[in-house]
Amino acid sequence: MHGRIWLAGVAVVLTAGCAAEAEPVAVPAAEPVTVEVAAASSGGACRLLDYATIAKHTGGRFDVAAASERGDTHTCVVRAEQAVLPELTLTVTETSIDKSTFTLDVLPDGAKKVTKLGQVAYRRTLPKTAEAGPAAEVGWLATDGRLATLSWTCPRGADKAAAEAVAGKLVTLAKTVDTRRM
């Protein structure tokens, strides 16, 4: 008998809790989550770059990338979302030229030769323009029949010494670019 009374009491307690639904509890909205998208997700020559490697070798922090392809030329431009400059551009073009042709036709006058980068390479700085500060450029003939160029355009207020410093950093970044992955 005691068992039946106890069982009836449990049944009453359980059904009493189900009779009324609880009021919904308001939960505050979660903060938006920022997800960093890799430069490679833009395709093209951006597949050869990533923001962490760029920051490691140049000190520049970028978070926006755009790629373009025209014929045998693949381009990637990276910059910070909140600033137009500085801007880093990588261009890779399939080519059949050799070292001597590169030296005669591609190597700019006054450029400094770079060692241990592709078959032959150079670095140079360019003067500021009305729209941008000076620029640094590294170009090389890769061992896989590709011509590659990395260029960094400085903000308007930068001086030529800043572009020279970046040119040296671009050389180390260029050595990490594997154009065979195109």
Average pLDDT, the chain: 88
pLDDT of residue 9: 54
- Would the CA dihedral through 132, 69, 99, 165 be positive or negative? positive
pLDDT of residue 38: 76
- Would the CA dihedral through 126, 128, 134, 137 be positive or negative? negative
pLDDT of residue 127: 95
Which residue, 58, 175, 57, is CA-closest to 114? 175
What is the per-residue pLDDT across 116-125, written as a single tens digit (0 to 9) for each? 999 999 999 9
What is the per-residue pLDDT across 18-49, written as a single tens digit (0 to 9) for each? 556 677 777 777 776 655 667 878 889 999 99
**Residue in the block written with tokens 């590294």:** 138
pLDDT of residue 56: 96
**Torsions phi, psi of 119, nearest 5?**
-80, -40
What average pLDDT does this structure show over 72-86?
94
